[in-house]
A and B are shown apart, each in its own frame.
Chain A
Amino acid sequence: MAALRGVDLRLDEGDFLTLFGPNGAGKTTLIRILATLARPTAGHVRIGGLEVRQGTAEVRRWIGVVSHQTFLYGDLTAEENLLLYARLYGLPDARTRAAQALQRVALGHRASDPVRTLSRGMQQRVAIARAVLHGPKILLLDEPYSGLDQHAAASLTATLQEMASLGRTVLMATHDLEQGLQLASRVAILSGGRLAHEGRAAGLDAAGFRRLYMDVVEGGAA
């Protein structure tokens, strides 16, 4: 009944790994473990050479997480939310940073509105701003495109492109094959808790990959 089994994965700096897999494959569990939100029952997680145990505060400074949950307080304004996180991450010039972050996701004009009053797409944009506020070296994304409108999706893609060009490391879990392949430098498939496939993304086209995906997922499952 383990969610993950024998997952051996290595990401180098600057890699953009898209993780595919059906629901229940363990993608969320893996991301939560990498984000220090969950502890593996066996095995090690090392980030930047440092062993990650749930208590390690420093490692969290390098990580940014985008999930389908926004981690935002609905009753606080977008700006207040970002200010809170800026303070928690110990960032100087919190106010300026928060304002700039909101500008970058084109929500500067809604800075003083409670997050509750924003549309889902806008909330996700604020969530993205929150995730990269502290300039993390690693970005973890769990189904970030789910439920997003075009505007928000474009904003997300822009952020991801920026991360990639800055040489940051990205791990994105998704079951949207097209979106996933766009920016990836590497791909992996998680099925039934196991790493069923792993390889370079260069040269892969959507159709070919779809066939590979179907084979792996249907053929591999116990």
Chain B
Amino acid sequence: MKTREWAGLALTGLSALAMMAAIYAALVYAPTERVMGALQRIFYFHVPVAVVAFLSFGVSFVASIGYLARGGRRWDQVAYAAAEIGEVFASLVILTGMMWARAAWNTWWTWDPRLTTTLVLWLIYAGYLILRGSVEDEIRRARYSAVVAILGFLDVPVVFMAIRWWRTIHPVVFDSSGVNLEPAMLSAFLISLAAFVILYVALLLARVRQESLADEVEFLRRRVQ
């Protein structure tokens, strides 16, 4: 196998290990929280997943700018892969958020700014994915997607501001006075965060590689015709 494939495999293995460590840390190692009990452990998944989702959309944003500025299929591949993976992670954020809300406050949805912003972002990138499915010409598709990704990502802070002035219920874990988490909890959180970031990188690389392979297949198919 080529080095690239070895690296991919190694990364996958590493993320599997990291994930196991994270699960252990979140479910066993971290102490049970006073107020919310075992339920609070969702936090160790919900927040890192949210971080990765936004990170991914950020990657898509940068790659989109790169595409418009430089051109070249690679930028488009990264922009697309990052958007797609971001969408998956955003879905997870919303789902875990709903689970938490249901268990903690007996309601399926809270119009909390962070969660609602994620929902709007989810909608924006759903549009992105539908757009991609709707344009056949590769170059047009890449260009239009880049425009939408840039527009959408710039919207995020504005969406957040708007919704925040509107409602607030989210438990504040990170506030200006510092992090009100016990050291053990903080460790668990950081382990989980690291694990998800490693997983993300593995996924992103795999997805981009997949797009490259799909391109090659398409190229060969056309030559045969």
Contacts and interface: CB of A to CB of B under 8 A. Distances in A.
Tell me if A's interface is mostly helix, strand, loop or mixed. Answer: loop
B222 A1 contact: yes
Contact of A41 (B71, B218, B222): B71
B71 A222 contact: no
Interface residues on B, range: under 10
Contact of A222 (B138, B218, B219, B223): B223
A157 B86 CA distance: 57
Interface in B199-225: 218-219, 222-223
A222 B71 CA distance: 27
A222 B222 CA distance: 11
Contacts of B223: 222
A124 B219 CA distance: 37
B13 to A, nearest CB: 35
Contacts of A41: 71
Interface string A28-45: 000000000000010000
Nearest to A3: B139
Interface string A200-222: 00000000000000000000001
A80 to B, nearest CB: 31
Nearest to A39: B71
Nearest to B138: A1
A1 B71 contact: no
Contacts of A1: 138, 218-219, 222
A220 to B, nearest CB: 15
